[in-house]
Amino acid sequence: MAWAFSLPAILLLFVFLLIPFLMAIGLSFSDQRLVPNPNLATQFVGLRNFVRIFADETFYRAVLNNFLFVIIVVPVQTALALLLAIFVNQKLKAVNVFRTIYFSPVVVTMVVVAVIWTFLYNPGEGLINKFVATITFGLLGPYDWLNNPNLAFPAIMLLSIWQGVGFQMIIYLAGLQDIPVYLYEAGQIDGANKFQQFLHITFPMLRNTTIFVVLATTILAFRLFTQVWVMQGPSGHPQGSTITMIVYAVNQGFKQGKIGYASAITVVFFIIVLLVSILQRVFIREERTVN
Amino acid sequence: MSATSMQHPEITASPYSTGYKIRQGVRVGFNYLLMTLLSIFFLFPIVFMLVSSIKNNETQVLMDMSTLYAFVPRGEIGAQNYYDVFAQMPFERFMFNSVFIVGMMVIFGLMINSLIAYALARLRFKGRALLLAIVIALIIIPLEAVAVPLLLLVNRFGWLESYHVQIIPFMADALSIFLFYQFFIGLPRELEEAALVDGASLFRIYWNIILPLSRPVFATVAILQFLTHWGDFLWPLMVTRGEEYRPLPVAMQQFFSQDPKVWGDIMAFAAMITIPVLIVFLLFQKWFVQSVATTGVKG
């Protein structure tokens, strides 16, 4: 009976996740095309795709961008989420309204987010340029945000943080509400100020929440695709400055038809994601034993 | 609880002293100010979209885009941009496609994933531990890593250009199974045991006892799946060509990439994707927030 209950899910996961995953590995050793050439059968090409990948500058750029995105977005987004959670965890009137407001970008679909921000980033007369000019008294700007190779990727980071941070905030909020009040009372009796309370009570008590938030955000950040594809197209315009591993893989496999090469990229992508999450876990374990 | 205020509350005199009250008032006022500034950051793109979408005159939209007028409905106000969207494409078709695809995915997903989670959490059978380990391991494989071979696979099934190609591959979901599993192992066993003594079948127990007790986790999984898949872009982009089976995000992107760009119409399209979800979110705000919070409990 247990197997009857499990069968539908097992079957679906097997056919639509495990098999494609194994196929990706298999295809990465072949020269499979999206539209097969009837005169040229698909062949096993050994490590050729991987050799090519490691000589491919665009691929390096994609990997670099992925890491840049993770290194900047994950800490910023996590810190901002914690700050917001602390704000909306106060016993103040209207705090629910603020919770709702901070969470609302999460329900806006990423394609829509990308489109709105494209308009906001309008070169010259766009709202963001106007804002930058106003707060710097006309010193900075206007910029062509999405066409400037130095600015395009940071611009995409900003809207990604805007859209995603509410989700993390709610998880932190749940973590904050799990902290027993008596810890703060004890802290106050010991003469800890608010900042010391945060450092010695709140932050340590949020350890597990932080681990979860950082892990989840990191993996999501590596999957960066939709924003770039909608705003900058398959090549990671301008001059490949916004290309990511997934954008490059879909471009190669789907647009260029090089399934074998695209599969090799996704295999490397998966290995990187796996390594990063294992590293994070090992690092976290060690800290646990120290505590 | 605020990290922004760093006074020493223990040094202050009686909470009834004027000094204390003033400090409290300033602290609260400062908090509200900061929270309001942050609200502007989170709301301005959404308000910008909604306001632009009801400005009928495209020149007005462009003229206002660099000033605070971008947030003020002025000039010719109306639903013309919305009519324009319907006139240019079968928007209602895309809306139906999205609702149908995501609805089916969520409903079947709830059944399939909760059933296997029930078996894993409550039944003893050979291979249970291994199966659980495999399911948890599968959480790490992102769709993006298998999208290309999955495309070849469904192509071999002859599934392109259809609803089921967008539904069936994503009904089973390892993370959902894990969330159900975690909830089910926390349920007390007594009720089931009584039912077993009464000779109820396992499916009956699942359906009549476990399911009614598990509404929160069902809501959680449903909401998370809905939020994820309502915005699905990569897969539908790969498997649909024509308008018949195209969901909203892909339709939006194709509309957006056409030139010349009419921003009023684009914003109307964007608003029509966003408003239904915003309304549902505002209505079920509490559930939304709770459900997102429970995903963090895994620690």
Report how far residue A45's alpha carbon sits from residue B22's, in angstroms, rounded to the nearest whole number.
76
Q: What is the pLDDT of residues B170-224, one digit of tens each?
A: 999 999 999 999 999 988 888 888 888 888 888 899 998 899 989 888 988 998 8
pLDDT at A286: 55
Given a cut of 60, whether residue B1 has pLDDT beyond it is: no
Q: What is the pLDDT of residue A285?
A: 64
* Measured torsion, CA atoms of residues B121, B123, B124, B126, in degrees rounded to the nearest 10: -90
B288: number of CA atoms within 13 Å, CB side?
21
Cross-strand pairs, B198: none
**Minimal-distance CA residue of chain B relative to A187:** B10
Give the Cα separation of B182 and A239 in Å (integer).
46
A24, B146: Cβ pair inside 8 Å? Answer: yes
CB–CB contact A116 B270 (8 Å)? yes
Q: What is the pLDDT of residue B191?
A: 80
User: If you average pLDDT over residues B51-61, what whole number do you get?
Assistant: 90
Cis omega before residue B260 (within 30°)?
yes
The alpha-carbon gap from A110 to the nearest alpha carbon of chain B, in Å, equals: 6
- Looking at residue B194, its pLDDT comes to 83
Could you give the angle at which helices A110-120 and B18-53 cross, rounded to 10 degrees?
90
Contact, A274 vs A218, CB < 8 A? no
Chain B contact present for A50, CB below 8 A: no
For chain B, give the number of residues. Answer: 299
Q: What pLDDT does residue B298 have? A: 44
For residue B293, name the pLDDT band (cuts at 50, 70, 90): confident
Contacts of A38 (CB under 8 A, 6+ apart): none
Distance CA B36, CA A193 (A): 25
For chain A, the straight-line distance linking the first and the last C-alpha, in angstroms and rounded, comes to: 44
Inter-chain CB proximity B274 and A20 less than 8 Å: no
Q: Do A119 and B231 touch (CB under 8 A)?
A: no
| Per-position pLDDT tens, chain A of length 291 | 788 999 999 999 999 999 999 999 999 999 888 877 777 777 888 899 999 999 999 999 999 999 999 999 999 999 999 999 999 998 888 888 999 999 999 999 999 999 999 999 998 888 999 889 888 888 887 889 999 999 999 999 999 999 999 999 999 998 998 888 898 888 888 888 888 888 889 988 998 889 888 988 998 899 999 999 999 999 888 988 999 999 999 999 988 989 999 999 999 999 999 998 888 878 776 555 544
Q: How far is B271 from chain A (nearest CA, A)?
A: 8
Q: Do A221 and A67 contact (CB within 8 A), yes or no?
A: no
The verdict on A19 touching B (C-beta cutoff 8 Å) is: yes
Q: What does the pLDDT average to over B222-247?
A: 91
Give dist(CA A55, CA A110) in Å, integer: 33
At residue B16 the predicted structure's pLDDT band, cuts being 50, 70 and 90, is confident
Q: A199 CB near a chain B CB, below 8 Å? A: no
Q: What is the DSSP string of A179-204?
A: S-HHHHHHHHHTT--HHHHIIIIIHH
Tokens of B27: 């602290």
Closest CA to B238 of B126, B142, B160: B160
DSSP string spanning A198-266? IIIIIHHHTHHHHHHHHHHHHHHHHT--HHHHHHHTTTTSSTTTT--HHHHHHIIIIIS-BHHHHHHHH
pLDDT digit string (tens) for B61-82? Answer: 888 888 888 888 888 888 999 9
Which residue matches tokens 């894990």?
B178
With bands split at pLDDT 50, 70 and 90, how would you rate the model's confidence at B8?
Answer: low
Flag whether pLDDT at B3 surpasses 50. Answer: no
Distance from CA of B185 to the nearest CA of A (A): 15
CB contact under 8 A, A112 and B144: no
Specify the 3-state DSSP secondary structure of A44.
strand
The beta-carbon neighbor of B249 closest among A102, A111, A195 is A111
> Mutating which of A1, A12, A281 best tests the B interface, going by the most B Cβ atoms within 10 A?
A12
What pLDDT shows up at residue B4?
44
Q: Please report the pLDDT score of residue A91 as a whole number.
A: 85
Select the residue from B27, B42, B281 to test the A interface by mutation, using most A Cβ atoms within 10 A: B42
Give the pLDDT confidence of B238-290 residue by residue, as tens digits.
999 889 999 999 999 999 988 888 999 999 999 999 998 988 888 887 777 77
Which among B66, B144, B277 has the least Cβ separation from residue A225?
B144
